[in-house]
Amino acid sequence: MLRIEALPEPSRTMALAAPLIATGITILISSLFFLSLGFNPIDTLHGFFVQPLMSLNGLSEWLLKASPLIIIACGLAIGFRANVWNIGAEGQLILGAIAATGIGLFAPWQDSVFLLPSMIAGAIMAGMAWAAVPAFLRSRMNTNEILVTLMLTYVATLFLSYLVHGPWRDPAGFNFPQTALLPYKATFSVFDHSYRLNSSIFFAIAAVIITWFFLERSFLGFRMSVGGVAPNAARYAGFRSSTAIWVGLLAGGAAAGLAGVGEVAGPLGQLSAHISPGYGFAAIIVAFVGRLHAVGIVLGGLLLSLLYLGGETVQLQYGLPSAIANIFQGLLLFFLLGGNFLINYRIRRIR
Amino acid sequence: MDLFISIFTATVIAATPLIFAALGELIVEKSGVLNLGIEGMMLMGAVFGVWAHFSGMPMTLAILIAIVAGALSSLVFGILALTFMANQYAAGLALAIFGGGVSAFIGRGFGSTPVDAVQPIKIPWLSDLPFLGPLLFQFDPLVYLSLILFVAVSWFLYKSKAGLALRAIGESPESAHAVGYPVIMIRYVAVLFGGAMAGLGGAYLSLVYTPLWVENMTAGRGWIALALVVFAAWRPIRVLLGAWLFGGMTILQLQGQAIGLKIPTELLSALPYIATIVVLVLISRNRMAMVLDFPASLAKPFRPSS
Amino acid sequence: MPPRLELSGINKAYPGVIANDNISFSVQPGEIHAVLGENGAGKSTLMKIIYGAISADSGEIRCDGKLIKEHGPAVSRGLGIEMVYQHFALFESISVVENIALSMPDRMNLPALSAEVRTISKKYGLPIDPNALVLSLSMGERQRVEIVRCLLRNPKLLILDEPTSVLTPQAVQILFETLRQLAQEGCSILYISHKLDEVRTLCHTATVLRGGHVTGRVDPSAASASKLARLMVGHELEEVSRPATQKSKKPLFEVRELRLAAANAMDTALQNLNMEVFGGEIVGIAGVAGNGQNELAAAMSGETVNSDPDAILLESRPVAHLDAGQRRDLGFGFIPEERLGRGAIPPYPLSENALLTAHRQGMTTLGFTKRHRAKDFAAQVIRRFRVKANGPDSIASGLSGGNLQKFIVGREIHLSPKVLLVSQPTWGVDVGAAAYIRQTLIDLSRSGKAVIVISEEVEELFEVCDRLYVMSDGKLSQSIDRKTANIEDIGLLMTSGAEYDYRETNIA
């Protein structure tokens, strides 16, 4: 008979090993999956996980895609630590992208060096504003933020669709649902014109450093974590839950908004109906894969980004839908959540 | 009059997948478990229903396959959330993403080949009544099934001992365990039922409503179903009314487009989502009234002491 | 005739603690058998093993001579073993009769069951209304529901786990009558308690547990209290010393006409409470569980904020509108009854648990934590209050109940508050640590601070307090000087609300 026992203290070894085990099992299952489709698993896995990294362009794309994931996951982790469940980063990203594009295209200071900085500020504020709605409703009316952030994501998507199909559509764009291209001054400069990687990657680095200091060293970060782990202890100590709610949601909103400007002023260069391949949702996985820790988030972001690239590669080479990247994302999160169990419990055979 | 009939019937039909999914989730949440993965389970049901249909199975069997597909996807969630005590939000989200991926993969060859949709049934005499006939008695059988299931779920929750036990588990799994109920097993059954109902809702979309397979065709209905349960404050009758309200909004917005309202369609489409937020706010302000219906242990992991 | 229940060699270990070590004893039909022991002696674990709610690592249980192989609560009920839990297994959102229906094997027939409930409750003097929602019942009434639920199944063995903690002294006598009546009818009773006088009044035999093993089998009415205590504790009980004191001129802490509506149906509303506490004294708040003590503690600590600032005064300054953190800034300290998850953050090291309330002692600069300061503070608390832990990095949940309580008490006292509120200071704490904590609280008050102790154990309050208030049904009594008070009078005051219930809820 098997019995589940709680460990007296969380296992540190397992805390490090669990994500690795989860990744390993995901890779194993995906190779079985490819095998069942009649593809050589070694080739497909190579196509999925190795090939994208074998060229400078691949590396550039890898970091380019990892960057929004890492930025958003950093912001979300701050909220998740406090049990504030913002799962609408996708909508906050869209609002950020809309604000940035609006400023980039229509601001009167088109020639100013402040054009891009004002877009960044506008995007962050738009993301925060979108997140402020659930923050206000949760702290004042005790409304569940999960549902509100989600509903607002649909609203944001529809609003974006309205803009690019209607008032903001590029008149010279052959009726495509997209805006005009942003002017040069309204985009991040690339490091090399052959590759799309651009200076917005520095925001990801900054986000990781800030998040690390906030979560591991700041007193506010500590207070928020206490609110997440032991809400009664936070109330007992007089840590306000409304602070945690506001900070948690606004951090996620700001990060998502920042990721939004990184997309439109980076690789995309314009606003279109599909500006994000689900970065806002995938970032939730990144935050969990990284165990809500800044360093873990970097690794998780790089891993998920690789899954996206791999999905594109196998789509091109094997004609499989890119949605299978979602299968692997889902699997990875499943195994990771299952693996967390081993950190706090052990299974023992008795008699 | 004809316009009224067509709006009414279209509303009922639009509400039906929501009723299935939300009634299922209601049972899950009443047992104290929160499964956010309805969207994924609905998509699994939708795609497997179409797959079974295209494989030449009769419609009834195709719907059964969809139900099983929904239930099996919920099992993945159940194992994580119940046996491994994982964070239920994360496990549900993973299921939503996973279901989207798997369904897209399975449906990749289905193109937009239309399905021979389930047809409305003719009820002798009743269907031929003037006004009432087209209003009430010319639906497809699944619409009537949704009403039967509503009655069944209400009866189960409030009249049967098993339903009483389910509500008790949702309030306090610790006490239920102490009294001798197998909490984890009963929660598994609830989760599976929720998955089956979501699968049925998905099948309704792909085999009756649309009727064809389109990637990500649920378009947020899984999340609406989730919101509906909260909207209903965990009461089956309000799930039903809420689903009709939402269905009605969708239809009114379509009608608005048809008669050439000057409001952009996207903004109209956003109305149901905004309405959900408004309702959420209204009910969460009235906590006292919810005390008796809210499953107090919702989304909290439970481990029986050993 | 074989014994009703026979245990042989029961063992149960949890990581880091042996809860039951080779326990054997037997209970005869119609016998009231006490299992006596201090908190943490392993009594509750043993009862759950007997009932089948948890499984033993090894050992045998026989009922009426037959070995129980596959055990579980369902098996127990099949054999006629019933258990009244210390923390009731009741569902608050449904009615009494629905609760009872859930533990009956038959199909649900609520009207018939209600009639049965009425019959049983009349027969044994346990008035309850079958249609009442459990959330509207007092703790005493809930216990009656639990007992009636067991009696409906004609038990052969009834297990009661610390049943008197929710009862007034008068209600205890009524319960004892019921139990004696049951025993006379042939039902065996296992009575778990740590209260010597109750066991000596009620029980025929007693098995004494200490540290998970049996230290004695005695006839409790024949054995002296000091012998029982020695068996339970392992040494003579230490008397706390309570030196004379000098009260401050003005009260350090006042409650004035405090009113608080119940936040939900399970809470008690506070009605016009008045109280004052001076520096240099310990004031106790007595009362049966669930009469508003939790709500009062939260209102005093600032976990619940009041709209009227003047309802609570700290050094004559209105503070009722301030939150817990702001009241701490002004010199208020609080030790809650729940250690894990309220007084301490279970998965965090002691250093970060120090940070929880001691951060005002220069542990932050510019919004960043100074972790070495928190570690130093935790290390000082560990040293000064003799907490058994491997230094400031030990995880809070890894400490024993007594040691964690010592850490929390130590942390709060080390902050030198002007007013310290302590709720249930010795719950789940072993005797040695309990005596130490009581003495520490007395010493703090003798240094000129005001100390308020909320406790359900009247004996504890008599041991440490200078004055007492009694809480009943959301109201506070007048102040009572301990020197002139006796336990019976306090019991009557505790009853005023509950006794009323007792007479009024008479069944139709």
Is residue A97 assigned to a domain? yes
The predicted model gives C397-416 an average pLDDT of: 87
Looking at the complex, report in whole angstroms how far the Cα of residue A111 sits from the nearest Cα belonging to chain B.
34
pLDDT attached to residue C499: 39
Touching check for A226 and chain C: CB below 8 Å?
Answer: yes
- Chain A residues with CB-CB distance to C336 below 8 A: 236
Q: Do B288 and C98 touch (CB under 8 A)?
A: no
- Residues in chain C closer than 8 A to B165 (CB atoms): 102
pLDDT > 70? residue B150: yes
Out of A5, A218, A236, the one facing C368 most closely (by C-beta) is A218
Chain B residue nearest residue C45, CA to CA? B306
How many domains does the structure of chain A reveal? 1
* pLDDT(A11) > 70: yes
Quickly state the pLDDT bin for C497 (edges 50, 70, 90). Answer: very low
| Dist. CA B260–CA B253, nearest whole Å | 11
C401 found inside a domain: no
Q: What is the pLDDT of residues C321-352, one digit of tens each?
A: 999 999 999 999 999 988 888 999 988 999 99
Q: Is C103 on the interface with B (CB under 8 A)?
A: yes
How many CB pairs (< 8 A) connect A and B? Answer: 144
pLDDT at A261 over 90: yes
Mean pLDDT for the stretch of residues B97-109 = 91
Q: What is the DSSP letter of C388?
A: -
pLDDT at B208 over 90: yes
Q: What is the mean pLDDT of residues A269-291?
A: 88
Fold of B2-290: ABC transporter involved in vitamin B12 uptake, BtuC (1.10.3470)
At C277, which helix (H) or strand (E)?
Answer: strand C270-278
Would you say residue B153 has pLDDT above 90?
A: yes
The answer to whether C103 contacts B164, with C-beta atoms less than 8 Å apart, is: no
Q: How confident is the model at residue B286 (pLDDT cuts 50, 70, 90)?
A: low
Task: Please name the residues between 157 and 176 in chain B that touch chain A, using a CB distance below 8 Å.
Answer: none
pLDDT tens across B15-28, in order?
A: 999 999 999 999 99
Greater confidence (A49 vs A236) lies with: A236
Mean pLDDT computed over A254-282: 92
ipTM of the complex as predicted? 0.87
Average pLDDT, rounded, for chain B: 89
Residue C207 lies in a domain: yes
Inspect the interface and report whether the beta carbons of B91 and A144 lie closer than 8 Å.
no
Residues of B in contact with C88 (CB under 8 A): 175
Taking CB atoms and an 8 Å cutoff, what residues of chain C touch A235? 303, 324, 342
Mark yes or no for CB contact C54/B181 under 8 Å. no
Q: What is the 3-state secondary structure (H, E, C) of B25-77?
A: HHHHHHCCCCCCCHHHHHHHHHHHHHHHHHCCCCHHHHHHHHHHHHHHHHHHH
- Select the residue of C108, C135, C265 nearest B161 (Cβ to Cβ): C108
CA dihedral (B163, B169, B175, B177) in degrees, to 10, reads 90
Average pLDDT over residues A131-160: 91
**B252 or C21, which is more confident:** C21
The pLDDT tens digits of the residues spanning C425-442 come to 887 777 777 888 899 999
Task: Report the DSSP beta bridge partners of residue C369.
Answer: C364
- Least confident piece of the model among B206-215, B224-233, C373-382: B224-233
C454 and C334 in a single domain? The answer is: yes
Identify the band that residue A295 occupies on the pLDDT scale cut at 50, 70 and 90: very high
Q: Is B85 on the interface with A (CB under 8 A)?
A: yes
Query: Can you give the pLDDT at residue C238?
Result: 67
The domain spanning residue A94 has which CATH number? 1.10.3470
CB pairs below 8 Å between B and C: how many?
A: 63
Which tens digit of pLDDT belongs to each residue from C96-124?
A: 999 999 988 888 899 999 999 999 988 88
Residue A40 lies in a domain: no
Query: d(Cα B172, Cα B32) in Å, to the nearest integer?
Result: 8
Residue C359 counted as domain residue:
no
Q: Is residue C304 in a domain?
A: yes
Percent of chain C with pLDDT over 70: 96
Our CA-based measurement puts residue B280 at a distance from the nearest CA of chain C, in whole angstroms, of: 20
Q: Is residue C269 a part of any domain in this protein? A: yes
Question: Which pLDDT score is estimated for C508?
Answer: 33
Q: Which of A218, A226, A238 is the closest to C326 by Cβ?
A: A238
Mark which residues 209-268 of B lie under 8 Å from A by CB. Answer: 215, 220, 223, 226-227, 230, 264, 266-267
CA distance C8 to C10: 6
CA–CA dist C372, C362 (Å, integer): 11
Tens digits of residue pLDDT in A208-217: 999 999 999 9
- Grouping H, G, I as helix, E, B as strand and the rest as coil, residue C287 is coil
Strand partners, A272: A178
User: How many domains are contained in chain C?
Assistant: 2
Write out the residue range of the structural domain in which residue A277 sits.
51-324
What are the strands, taking DSSP E only, across chain A?
2-6, 345-349
Question: Cα-Cα-Cα-Cα dihedral of B299, B304, B305, C5, to 10°?
Answer: 150
pLDDT band at C164 (very low <50, low <70, confident <90, very high): confident
Which residues of chain C from 191 to 250 reach within 8 Å of chain B, CB to CB? none
CA–CA distance, C401 with C405 (Å, rounded to integer): 6
Contacts of C357 in chain A (CB under 8 A): 236-237
A158 to chain B: which residues are within 8 Å by CB? Answer: 266-267, 269-270, 273
Query: Is a pLDDT exceeding 60 seen at residue C501?
Result: no
pLDDT of residue C503: 35
Mean pLDDT score, B169-196? 94
Asked if C336 reaches chain A (Cβ–Cβ under 8 Å), the answer is yes
Q: What is the overall mean pLDDT for chain C? A: 87
Tell me the residue range of the domain where C431 lies: 251-340+418-504
Q: Are A114 and B120 in contact (CB under 8 A)?
A: no
What CATH number corresponds to the domain at position C65?
A: 3.40.50.300
- Residue C305 reports pLDDT greater than 60: yes
Interface contact flag, A337 B102, Cβ < 8 Å: no
Query: What is the per-residue pLDDT across A173-203, written as a single tens digit (0 to 9) for each?
Result: 788 888 888 888 888 888 888 889 888 899 9
Question: Residue C502 has what pLDDT?
Answer: 36
Q: Which of C76, C102, C136, C161 would best serve as a mutation to test chain B binding (most B beta carbons within 10 A)? A: C102
Per-residue pLDDT averaged across A49-59, rounded? Answer: 87
Q: What is the pLDDT of residue C507?
A: 35
Structural tokens at position C421 = 């509120």
> C83 and C182, same structural domain?
yes
pLDDT given at position B287: 61
Q: Which residue among A219, A230, A239 places its CB closest to the CB of C368? A: A219
| A217·C368 Cβ contact <8 A | yes
Q: Residues of C with CB below 8 A from B179's CB? A: 73, 89, 102-103
- Average pLDDT along chain A: 89
Q: How far is CA B237 from CA B151, B241, B283, in A?
A: 9, 6, 15
CA C505, CA C127: separation in Å to the nearest integer?
Answer: 6
Best residue in C294, C348, C390 for a mutation probing chain A (most A CBs within 10 Å): C348
Would you place residue B209 in the very low, low, confident or very high pLDDT band (cuts 50, 70, 90)? very high
- Structure letter (DSSP) for residue C344: B
Q: How far is CA A236 from CA A67, C125, C263, C304, C338, in A?
A: 39, 41, 17, 10, 11
Identity at A304, one-letter amino acid code: L
Q: Which residue does chain B place closest to A166, by CA atoms?
A: B264
Q: Is A235 on the interface with C (CB under 8 A)?
A: yes
Given an 8 Å threshold on Cβ–Cβ distance, is A323 in contact with B215?
yes
Is residue C71 less than 8 Å (CB to CB) from chain B? no
Residues C288 and C220 in one domain: no
Which tokens sit at A61? 């794309």
Interface test with A, best of B84, B88, B97 (most A CBs within 10 A): B97
Res C266: pLDDT: 65
Contacts of residue A284 in chain B, CB cutoff 8 Å? 90, 93
**Minimum-distance CB partner of C355 among A7, A8, A222:** A222
pLDDT band at C504 (very low <50, low <70, confident <90, very high): very low
C10 phi, psi to nearest 5 deg: -75, 125
pLDDT score for A184:
87
Contact A154/B at CB under 8 A: yes
Q: Kindly state whether residues C46 and C158 are assigned to the same domain.
A: yes
Separation between Cα atoms, residue A283 and residue A302, nearest integer Å: 11
Interface contact B89, partner A, CB < 8 A: yes
Q: Is B247 exposed, middle or buried (0-12, 13-18, 19+ CB in 10 A)?
A: buried
Q: Is C301 in Cβ contact with A236 (below 8 Å)? A: yes
**Chain center to CA of C388:** 23
Tell me if C367 and A6 make a contact (CB, 8 A cut-off): no
Q: What is the reported pTM?
A: 0.85
Q: Region A285-300: what's the mean pLDDT?
A: 90
Report pLDDT digits (tens) over A85-120: 998 999 999 999 999 999 999 989 888 889 999 999
Does the CB of C139 have a partner CB in chain A at under 8 Å?
Answer: no
**If pLDDT is split at 50, 70 and 90, which confidence band does A336 have?**
confident
Of C338, C341, C367, the CB nearest to A220: C367
Q: Domain limits of chain B?
A: 2-290
Residue C130 shares a structural domain with residue C54: yes
Q: Could you say which of A143, A147, A166 has the minimum Cβ distance to residue B226?
A: A147
Residue A130 has pLDDT above 60, yes or no: yes
Q: Tell me the three state secondary structure of residue C32.
A: strand
Band of residue B289 on the pLDDT scale cut at 50, 70, 90:
low
Question: Which of A245-254, A317-326, B80-89, C187-196 comes out lowest in average pLDDT?
Answer: A317-326
